Chain A
């Protein structure tokens, strides 16, 4: 299935509030759900989820991410030196 140009865009990522969001997929049965991905924090969500997972104003503060907090992510495993 190709993504329809008319697929509703999300205004902001629920988790990091970035405006850089994309439609990830439409439900194979038309018009049941739309899935989104945030290009900033890579959060994904679906239009039919409980509101706390899809509404930036209802997203739990406990789980919120920012570009600054993502800079603190450890890298696992370390990238080895080229031989």
Chain B
């Protein structure tokens, strides 16, 4: 019988209320909530690392938007190993993460997320001890003996850590907490204590590695794996360079965020399951990949930086958290959805208050849909260009669709209506050549350089008097009344 790091399943639990803010101290506590909400499947049978874990991750991503997390309690070859998959892989799980009802829609989660984002900065608090310090390995490190790493897709070049929070500081501003970085960057196992790390120029860690390498120094880092769910969401968020992720996590969870500093001074979540400490080797690049990526295609191989691990720490009986990624939609699409949309919204809204909502949930925001009011003709096109100049826009947004304020960017039927009826391509579609893009964009030419497109699907306003637009239809009086009445009649057919 497989052991489990979670307590026995409880028959009932506290029902989270919408808007109620609940901070989770660690991953097991969140998994317990998911289990109470029927959002976790425990697998106790012994599974093969390959192909079972990748296959199960793929299978659960093919569920609907209420997909559960998975917890494997017995992995062949390990005396005691636990693997959690798909923890963030549905709107239901993300709603529960925020203390909302699990039936919440993507738009409702976006609005709640934005509300909490506006409370930035929260507070980071340091403790001196953490449960992850209980077990420490510093000699003869062999990562694979301690972490159940596995191949996700058959063409992957190896075993990856794809859901670790990587913590680093800026060597040019070492004591400035606000530029400490928490980011999620894929890492490939390439030796007993050796990893490749994907550092692309648009990522914050690239700035820090550049500063270290200019001085010929290694860049210290810590890798925190198996965390409460908020910091993982924040690690994947394109916030500004001087916005500390822990202060964002504190704002989102409504409580100070608790960390513990490593000997090098890197702040690590108190509740992490595993913490790996090491260095990015200065001036070193080495073959890495491919990995089946969020684009739905294999990434190809590149020479990426290399990390050596000097210490492994973990809680007793840790849970390794991993993420299936491949042909969308997968957990990664949910993981990089609302947390991409909300900062884009906030960054643009701070300068253009007419912006109403942003949807950047498709392929990590390669496509962005933004709704806005227009003060004058040409305004919507400027909103589109502002999206392209945000931190996320620099590396990801390729196509921006701008729609009227009354079109919901999260309702693709409405967006398609706007595209179908508002766009006259000669005046509303424009292409800007040779902008920056993430190297994983396979349509780029050359790599990392792409044109970008803005589609103005708003109704022109003066002095832009193009077109023959007439008054839009609205709903007859009593429509709301009838909607509720008909819903009730459908639930309770006449007796």
Contacts and interface: CB of A to CB of B under 8 A. Distances in A.
Interface of A: 1-2, 15, 24-25, 27-29, 32-33, 35, 37, 41-46, 48-50, 52-53, 60, 62-63, 65, 69-70, 73-77, 79-83
Contacts of B142: 1, 24-25
Interface in B259-305: 283, 285-288, 290, 298, 301-305
A37 B206 contact: no
Nearest to A75: B303
Given A29-B78, A32-B77, A63 B290 contact: yes
A45 B49 CA distance: 11
A76 B304 contact: yes
B447 A79 contact: no
Contacts of A76: 198-201, 285, 302-304, 439, 448
A8 to B, nearest CB: 15
17 contacts: A27-B78, A29-B79, A37-B191, A43-B158, A44-B158, A46-B49, A48-B50, A50-B51, A52-B154, A53-B50, A60-B155, A63-B154, A74-B302, A76-B303, A81-B214, A82-B214, A83-B215
B144 interface: yes
A43 B391 CA distance: 33
A55 B294 CA distance: 28
B209 interface: yes
B192 A24 contact: yes
Contact of B49 (A24, A42, A48, A81): A48
Contacts of B200: 76-77
A22 B142 CA distance: 14
Contacts of B50: 46, 48-50, 53
A49 B190 contact: no
A52 B199 CA distance: 30
Interface string B61-85: 0000000000000001111000000
A32 B47 CA distance: 12
Contacts of A27: 76-78
A73 B290 CA distance: 11
Chain B, interface size category, equals: 35 or more
With most chain A CB atoms within 10 A of its CB, the pick from B191, B287, B439, B448 is B287
A79 B199 CA distance: 12
A42 B439 contact: no
B192 A33 contact: no
B189 interface: yes
A28 B81 CA distance: 10
A1 B140 CA distance: 8
Given A15-B157, A25-B144, A42-B157, 17 more contacts: A2-B140, A27-B78, A33-B49, A37-B190, A37-B191, A42-B287, A43-B157, A48-B76, A49-B51, A73-B302, A74-B439, A75-B303, A76-B199, A76-B285, A76-B439, A77-B305, A82-B214
Nearest to B203: A77
Given A24-B192, A49-B50, A29 B77 contact: yes
A74 B159 contact: no
Interface string B31-55: 0000000000000000011110000
A38 B213 CA distance: 28
A48 B158 contact: no
A28 B145 contact: yes
Given A37-B191, A82-B216, A77 B158 contact: no
